[in-house]
Amino acid sequence: MNALSNVKLPPWLQGLATAQNKASLAAPILIIMLLAMMILPLPAFVLDMFFSFNIALSVIVLLTSLYTVKPLDFMSFPTILLVSTMLRLSLNVASTRVVLTEGHTGADAAGKVIEAFGHFLIGGNYTVGIVVFIILTIINFVVVTKGAGRIAEVGARFALDAMPGKQMAIDADLNAGLIGEAEAKKRRSEVSMEAEFYGAMDGASKYVRGDAVAGILVTVINVVGGLLVGVIQHDMPFADATKNYTLLAIGDGLVAQIPSLIISIAAGIVVSRVASDQDIGTQVVAQLFSKPQVLYITAGIIGGMGLIPGMPNLVFLMLGATLAGSAYMMGKRKEEKRTAEVAAAEAAAPAAAAAAEQEEATWKDVMPVDTLGLEVGYRLIPLVDKAQGGELLKRIKGIRKKFAQEVGFLAPPVHIRDNLELKPSAYRITLKGVEVGAGEAYNGQFLAINPGMATGTLQGMVTTDPAFGLPAVWIDASLRDQAQGMGYTVVDAGTVVATHLNHLITSHAAELLGRGEVQQLLDHLGKEAPKLLEDLVPKTISLATLQKVLQNLLSEGVHIRDMRTIIETMAEHAAHTTEPNDLTALVRIALGRAIVQQLFPGSGELSVMTLDNRLERLLMQALAASGPDGAGIEPGLADTIAQQAQQAAAQQEALGLTPVLLVPGPLRALLSRFLRRALPQLKVLSHAEIPESKTIRVTALVGQQPG
């Protein structure tokens, strides 16, 4: 037993034992069966089974397409289309063999299914059968298949054109912290699969059109070949041979064409539906029969036609009455729903008024100011209402999580409330009760942002992106794919508000770091390194000094994730100085590698701006005369520095480089404070903050005299 238990089966034999691999064998077996049907003769009973299976398969495909929410849910449809087409062609070959070899024996020579289609559906009249067969073929070939193929072709073209814009939108959501890396990867895969699906449908629809042509040719060949076989080989009278073989050929053609028509309809449904969270049946009923006025007008028109003499009056009047009754019941249900909502609002009003009336003012009436607040107009309430499916709450949670991971501390929660004083589609963002940002977002529309390389213009409301000031246009949802194909970054209203909020939280990080957040940072660090904090805070350095150092770092865009290095540096130099600005400069030197990596990710060469030697000496003299606040700098010199720094920074940005000014250590804090207000995007570094492994390339000189 032990010896047998150690025997290792071959990989192919192990694969056969798993259920997944058993399922994967279905496709090869089916293809082999299709080829066998073309080569090997089949008895009439087996043909009946395969014809019945073909009809059942077409019905299954049609129903699946009706209950499919989006095309990618039925991603295997192009392959099924090909396989079903090959199945019908294989059955045509097999049935042709039986019709030509056994057709002289009677109408049931090729099985009961073909006989039933030849007698029951067309009454045994081969002339009627030919007409019905031609009509079905024309409907399938000219109308359904051609239309579905055209939609698939256009869908494939638009899907390919929109891919760059959709990829940019995914990258924008990822950078804004609205989605994670896994979600971004999933969306990119869906975008790629959507383009591949429509491309495959465009090609697969050609098989269905070819199948319709093949059906006509096979039917003609069966009729002609049957006449030759019946008259020449079996000595049948021409009239009997014509009737016998024509009925068999037409029955065979109808058995193949009806499933082909059903599959073509399914293909048209899949490629023609617009993306929605409802299946096609629910979507059609909800949109086509949702307005009582439409049904009343239709009932009046149909009822009026029923009063015209010579018309089928009873049928028209019954249909008109049914439509009118349906409209009445629909309107009654809507009125009852509206009355219930009004009654609920009136019942809640006295309770709210009673709650608002207080006998005496108390300290509970003194409400603390929210650190972060978001106020929205009434049309934006669905964005922040969880009951109405608002996604903005989830996105704000993602923003706070991303901020904590990148910056290094947890931002205060965002308090959201509606404000009837705002415009219906307006919002504003407050910091400690003061407005720091505002904008408008239109729920149900999309903001198409021009990142600088979009082509063409869009129809809509021209505006600017509230977060970064880029030119943008508010567009309808129907223009979304077109805008993405033209290179615009397209985002919904919730994403606009979330991106603006994320930008403001990041730019005001220093103000969000209060005493409580600093204490929470120390408590969190103390769990991992308690010895690191024992002798520093508050024995050597006060909590206020630590807070000021951290705020100095955040105000210049330096992340404080590496609290261990910050605390160790401050502990090392606390014996010599406790002045926050001096400690900030020392901490920046310790964090130099992280600061440089944040500004120049993955680059070994740093393209920076520097000061002209004469200007540098002049500033050093002014600093020595006036002290660290730089109050002794001449106003004219200050304006010149600001103008030249702005021009050099614009040149850096035009070259796709981060504007960074490299100065001596004593001048760094002075120039950073001086230039921060006019050039918030400009970062000022000292020579001591540059790691030795980095190479410096000077691209511009500030203060250089012309000529």
* 75-90 pLDDT tens trace: 777 788 778 878 877 8
Q: Which residue has the higher pLDDT, 272 or 631?
A: 272
109: pLDDT strictly greater than 70: no
Q: Does the bond joining 466 to the residue before it have cis omega, within 30 degrees of 0? A: no
Split at pLDDT 50, 70, 90, the class of 47 is confident
In 170-323, where do the E strands start and end? Answer: none
Beta pairing partners, 463: 472
For Cα atoms 15, 16, 22, give the angle at the middle one, nearest 5 degrees.
110
**How confident is the model at residue 442, as a pLDDT?**
93
Q: Is the pLDDT of residue 363 over 50?
A: yes
Which of 17-26, 277-286, 331-340 reaches the highest mean pLDDT? Answer: 331-340
Task: State pLDDT tens for residues 633-684.
Answer: 778 888 888 899 999 998 888 888 889 999 999 999 989 988 888 888 899 9
Q: Which residues, 6 or more positions from 46, have their beta carbon under 8 angstroms from its beta carbon? A: none
234-272: string of b/e by CB count within 10 Å (b at 16+)?
Answer: eebeeeebbebbbbbbbbbbbbbbbbbbbbbbbbbbbbe
User: How sure is the predictor about 354, in pLDDT bands with cuts at 50, 70 and 90?
Assistant: low
Q: For residue 434, what pLDDT band results from cuts at 50, 70 and 90?
A: very high
**Across all residues in the chain, what is the average pLDDT?**
80
pLDDT at 440: 94
16/558: higher pLDDT: 558
Name the β-bridge partners of 372.
414, 431
Reported confidence tier of residue 686, pLDDT bands at 50, 70, 90: very high
- CA 17, 23, 29, 31: dihedral to nearest 10 degrees? -150
3-state secondary structure string across 627-662: CCCCCCCCHHHHHHHHHHHHHHHHHHHHCCCCCEEE
Confidence of residue 98 (pLDDT cuts 50, 70, 90): confident
Tell me: pLDDT of 397 over 70.
yes
Q: CA 14 to CA 21: how far, in whole Å?
A: 9
At residue 62, does pLDDT exceed 50? yes
Whole-number pLDDT of residue 607: 92
Our CA dihedral for 62, 68, 71, 73, rounded to 10 degrees, sits at -110
Contacts of 544 (CB under 8 A, 6+ apart): 515
Local confidence band at 340 (pLDDT 50, 70, 90 cut-offs): confident
Average pLDDT, stretch 184-197?
78
Among all chains, which residue has been given the structure tokens 């100011």? 369
**Facing residues of 608 across strands?**
698
Strand order of the β-sheet with 372-376 is 414-418, 372-376, 426-431, 434-440
Q: How much of the chain is helix, strand and coil, in % rounded to 5?
A: 65, 10, 25
Contact indicator for 140, 257 with CB cutoff of 8 Å: yes
Amino acid in position 583: L
State how far Cα 323 lies from the chain centre: 40
pLDDT of residue 555: 93
> Between the ranges 58-72, 364-378, 615-629, where is the mean pLDDT highest?
364-378
What is the percent of the chain with per-residue pLDDT over 70, rounded to a whole number?
Answer: 81
Burial of 487 by CB count in 10 Å (0-12 exposed, 13-18 middle, 19+ buried)? middle
- 321 exposure class (CB count in 10 Å sphere: 0-12, 13-18, 19+): middle
Please, which residues bridge with residue 683 across strands? 660
The answer, yes or no, to whether residue 146 has pLDDT greater than 90, is no
pLDDT in tens, 580-613: 999 999 999 999 999 999 999 888 889 999 999 9
Task: Please work out, in degrees rounded to the nearest 5, the angle formed at the alpha carbon of residue 203 by the alpha carbons of 200 and 209.
Answer: 135
CA distance 209 to 211: 5
Query: Is the CB of residue 100 less than 8 Å from the CB of residue 241?
Result: no
Handedness of CA 256, 258, 263, 264 (dihedral sign): positive
Q: Compute, in degrees rounded to 10, the torsion defined by CA atoms 482, 208, 65, 276.
A: 0
356 confidence band (pLDDT: 50, 70, 90)? low
Rounded Cα gap, residues 671 and 445, in angstroms: 44
CB-CB contact of 606 with 593 (8 Å): no
Instruction: Specify which residues 489 forms β-bridges with.
Output: 449
**What number is the average pLDDT over the span 288-297?**
76
* Distance set, CA 358 to CA 350, 352, 366 (Å): 14, 12, 14
In the prediction, which pLDDT does 296 show? 82
Find how far residue 556's CA is from the centre of its chain.
34
What is the bridge-based pairing of β-strands 446-449 and 461-464?
Answer: unpaired
Give residue 2's pLDDT: 43
Give the model's confidence band at 267: pLDDT under 50 very low, under 70 low, under 90 confident, else very high.
Answer: confident
Sheet arrangement for strand 605-611: 683-686, 660-663, 605-611, 695-702
Residue 15: which pLDDT band, with cuts at 50, 70 and 90? very low
The mean pLDDT value for 138-160 works out to 69
Taking residues 172-178, report their average pLDDT: 69
Query: What tokens appear for 678 in the block?
Result: 């006019």
pLDDT mean over 426-453:
92
Residue 489 three-state SS = strand
Q: What is the pLDDT of residue 706?
A: 60
Residue 474, beta-bridge partner list: 447, 461
Look at phi and psi of residue 364 and say left if phi exceeds 0, alpha if psi is from -120 to 50, else beta: alpha
Concatenated DSSP letters of 169-183:
HHHHHHHTTSS-HHH
**Given CA atoms 497, 499, 500, 504 in this order, what sign does their dihedral have?**
positive
Let me know: does 498 contact 396? Beta carbons within 8 Å: yes
CB 649 within 8 A of CB 670: no
CA distance 581 to 593: 20
**Whole-number pLDDT of residue 547:** 93
pLDDT higher for 688 or 191? 688
8 A C-beta contact, residue 414 and residue 372: yes
Neighbours of 382 (CB within 10 A): 18
With cut-offs at 50, 70 and 90, classify the pLDDT of residue 226: confident
Q: Tokens for 552, please give them.
A: 């100095």
> For the residues 532-550, what does the mean pLDDT come to?
85
- pLDDT above 90 covers what percent of the chain? 24
Rounded Cα–Cα distance for residues 86 and 32 (Å): 11
CA gap 513, 409 in Å, rounded: 8
Question: Taking 50 as the threshold, does the pLDDT of residue 5 lie above it?
Answer: no
- The confidence score (pLDDT) of residue 491 equals 93
Q: State residue 4's pLDDT score.
A: 39
Q: Of 58-72, 313-327, 339-353, which range is least confident?
A: 339-353
* Mean pLDDT to the nearest integer, 475-480: 91
